Structure 1
Amino acid sequence: MNLKNLYLWAALCCLLTQSCFKTGTEKEVVKPRAIWTKEKANEWYGQQDYLIGPNFSPSTAINQLEMWQAETFDTATIARELGWAESIGMNTARVYLHDLLWEQDSVGFLRRLDTFLNIAQRHNIKPMLVIFDSVWDPNPQIGKQREPRPHVHNSGWVQSPGSAGLQDSTQYPRLERYVKGVMGKFANDKRVLAWDIWNEPYNLNKGSAYGKQELPNKLDYVLPLLKKSFTWARAMNPSQPVTSGVWMGNWATHDSLTAMQKLMVAESDIITFHNYDGPEELEQRINWLKRYGRPMICTEYMARPNGSTFQGALPIAKKHNVGMINWGFVDGKTQTIYPWDSWDKNYTAEPTVWFHDIFRKDGTPYRQEEVDLIKSVAGVQAKK
């Protein structure tokens, strides 16, 4: 074979193998994993115990940042309160993260998240971790968090990313690093139940003091970033399901969904949703979502004055095999025993009927009959 033919043969080999002449520093493009089939999603769900738990942050934290920052990461309170969850049969908890934690100290944040997962595992709790959130304050700031406004519901909760991150596409690379960094670390971790990519992405916070601070075209920024976030998440090939829960609106038919709701459903391995209405409305929405043939978890419910109660919701959910994660757990700095209207109405003392939450700070149940029902639904054997 002459020299010319030898070069042609080598070039052909390169084309066939697509690997010749690599320097060893080139990164192979990882194709995001596919959305789970209905069969795979239902197989995963069939391997879980009946899922029941709270949206959890320790009573000593006003928001996600205070929960996770090194100076205020309160493992003693976390362990004590997750112990109370375990004692009433809860086996999951929905827990919020934040992109600014990654920017501030990615190594420390991952270390603290690992510590949290160890604590949760000791109490037989498998958390669902929330990546982004569109609710309440759109201007989050790292560092010491403000004190709660007296008697006001969730007066210090912050969005992730905030308005600055949403409207500045040059921040997308750091958001991508956050999603991939966190999910890459725990993508095959059996301590993690699932990933909630974005909490209430189309929430404009109307009726709160923060509504006036929102971007006028917020949803135009959220929609493409939500799509990217699902892609970034799947690029890490997580063994756990990814999802984003629909809330409010008309779900009666697929065509009645908004463009963002359709995206959320289409990109979700399992169907998640929120419902703060009475039992009839809850059951109707469950029946609407059955058309997708996927497992369902209600990731927010329970607002007593709204008619959303444990007594009304849990029997219906158990009948339909829908997992249930209520809002709030221990009365604390989030002050979610107060209703949403506390942003406009002046409260001066603990409300007669708590809006959310199950336990007082000393571990005493707000209503013993609710705790007894949760134990019954969770299958906890009564002590003789």
Structure 2
Amino acid sequence: MTRRCTRRGFIATGVASAVSLAGCVADAREPPVDIRGAMYLPSRAMNSFQMWHTYERGVTQRDMGFAARLNLNALRTWLSYEAWHKDQDSFGRAVDHLLRTAESHGIRVMLGIFEGVGRPPVPKNLYDTDPWTGTSVWSPGKRVMRNPDRWGRPTQFAKWVMDRYGDDERVLAIEVMNEPGWRPWKKRFAREMFRVVRDVRGSVPLTVGATSLANVADYYDWGIDIAQFHYNYPNTQDIYRGVLEQAKKLQRSAGMPVWLTEWQRIADFGWGQQNVPPAKRGPQYASLVPPIRESGVGNFFWSLMLKPAYMLSQRKRGILNGVFHEDGSVWSMEDARAIKSMSGDSSFSGRQRKEWPEWAQKAKRRA
């Protein structure tokens, strides 16, 4: 794909203004249209550092098999600057194994380089595996992102990723950063890292994880090849249909794919209410599959594996995400069949178990 950055940009969507761009050309493979994906972190990894620092090949092989049972063709996951910094060779072998295993199941992977969501990557947060206190972490930390004099090492990491995976057919896209959001210091860091990656780019399309459709316009003039947005908890299907229609308009006007890279369920689980049954705050992907399937928008649900919510604030409210228990049973047969139906096949057999993972329950009893 050759995308000239002087095209019309973000117009006629009602969610973003037109962007005036200098003439530039970004070359990348044409991203596929049919994307049926999931966010992936192993069940017991509270952040991406834990996923890579204690990488378990058997867990990856098992979990890729679960993804194949849903007819998924894509996964989204994040790398870890901190794990790379600790042991580059071990980290590289782990990433290669995940990509090789995913490919054996017909799955391509979107790799994220940096993470803008979470808490400081201090040892306490990096290593805490308790499902009630462990947390997602910024990668790199705030002190690094705010100080350009400390960007040298993250730049080396970004170049290492591009040198190793920038032309890898197994890689669906490279997400330079997840949710730089609205804070100026995060956006400055993310923009510079995107420039670094773009200057050494290969054929793999480049993207940035946007918090919303409105946020996407901030990244268009950076030279992205794929626009992505997140919308996890709408109040109704009609609201979701409206947003997905805006995404399709944006796709037409910007001339690039627009993917919904985080979605979960209708938000009817009673935020702030007392005595809400645990099952009520569990997954309910079937509530959003109809509008997503109708739209045809490429999408990734959060998440493949059943686990306490990624965000600590949501976890404390009892929110659970995911489809598969570690033993291969599912939280909801309705959810599994609905997700698989986006491939044109809604058949799914297995065992349903609407229970919190035992390892998480034990940790809660100890707390």
Q: Give the secondary structure class of the aligned counterpart of 1:378.
A: coil
Find the counterpart in structure 1 of residue 225 from structure 2.
269
Cα shift readout 1:297-347 (whole Å, capped 9, x = no counterpart): 111010454589533433323333211101122224xx229994443x5x5
**Larger fraction in strand:** 2
Find the counterpart in structure 1 of residue 154 from structure 2.
175
Residue 319 of structure 1 aligns to which amino acid in structure 2? E
Change (3 A) 1:147 1:312: closer
Are residue 61 (structure 1) and residue 40 (structure 2) matched? no
Matching residue within 29, 32, 36 for 1:52: 36
Q: 1:300-311 alignment to 2 at 5 Å?
A: 300-306=262-268, 309-311=284-286
Are residue 97 (structure 1) and residue 79 (structure 2) matched? yes
Change (3 A) 1:102 1:304: same
Residue 366 of structure 1 aligns to which amino acid in structure 2? W
Residue 102 of structure 1 aligns to which amino acid in structure 2? W
Matching residue within 137, 147, 150 for 1:158: 137
Corresponding pairs, count: 306
Matching residue within 324, 329, 335 for 1:364: 329
Find the counterpart in structure 2 of residue 298 from structure 1.
260
State the distance in 1 between where 2:237 and 2:194 align: 31
TM-score, normalising length: structure 2: 0.75
Change (3 A) 1:283 1:328: same
CA contact (8 A) 2:178 2:209 kept: yes
Find the counterpart in structure 1 of residue 209 from structure 2.
245
Q: Which runs of 5+ in 2 are unaligned?
A: 1-23, 270-282, 350-367
Q: Give the secondary structure class of the aligned counterpart of 1:107.
A: helix
Matching residue within 278, 290, 302 for 1:315: 290
Find the counterpart in structure 2 of residue 133 from structure 1.
115
State the distance in 2 between where 1:34 and 1:141 align: 42
Runs (4+) of structure 1 exceeding 6 A deviation are none
Cα shift readout 1:55-79 (whole Å, capped 9, x = no counterpart): 101113221111111xx11110111
TM-score, normalising length: structure 1: 0.72
Q: Give the secondary structure class of the aligned counterpart of 1:58.
A: coil
Residue 304 of structure 2 aligns to which amino acid in structure 1? F
Identity of paired residues, percent? Answer: 24
Residue 272 of structure 1 aligns to which amino acid in structure 2? Q
Change (3 A) 1:355 1:342: closer
CA contact (8 A) 2:337 2:348 kept: no
Q: 1:180-329 alignment to 2 at 5 Å?
A: 180-202=159-181, 219-248=183-212, 251=214, 261-267=216-222, 268-276=224-232, 277=234, 278-289=236-247, 290-291=249-250, 292-306=254-268, 309-329=284-304
State the distance in 2 between where 1:189 and 1:132 align: 19
CA contact (8 A) 1:328 1:336 kept: no
Change (3 A) 1:306 1:104: farther
Radius of gyration: which is bigger? Answer: 1
CA contact (8 A) 1:246 1:273 kept: yes
Change (3 A) 1:266 1:279: farther
Q: Give the secondary structure class of the aligned counterpart of 1:193.
A: strand
Once the two structures are TM-superposed, the CA of residue 178 in structure 1 deviates from its matched residue by 0.5
Cα shift readout 1:50-106 (whole Å, capped 9, x = no counterpart): 21121101113221111111xx11110111011011011011111111212222222
CA contact (8 A) 1:179 1:229 kept: yes
Q: 1:110-125 alignment to 2 at 5 Å?
A: 110-125=92-107
Q: Which runs of 5+ in 1 are unaligned?
A: 1-32, 204-218, 252-256, 348-353
CA contact (8 A) 2:36 2:300 kept: yes
CA contact (8 A) 2:109 2:172 kept: yes
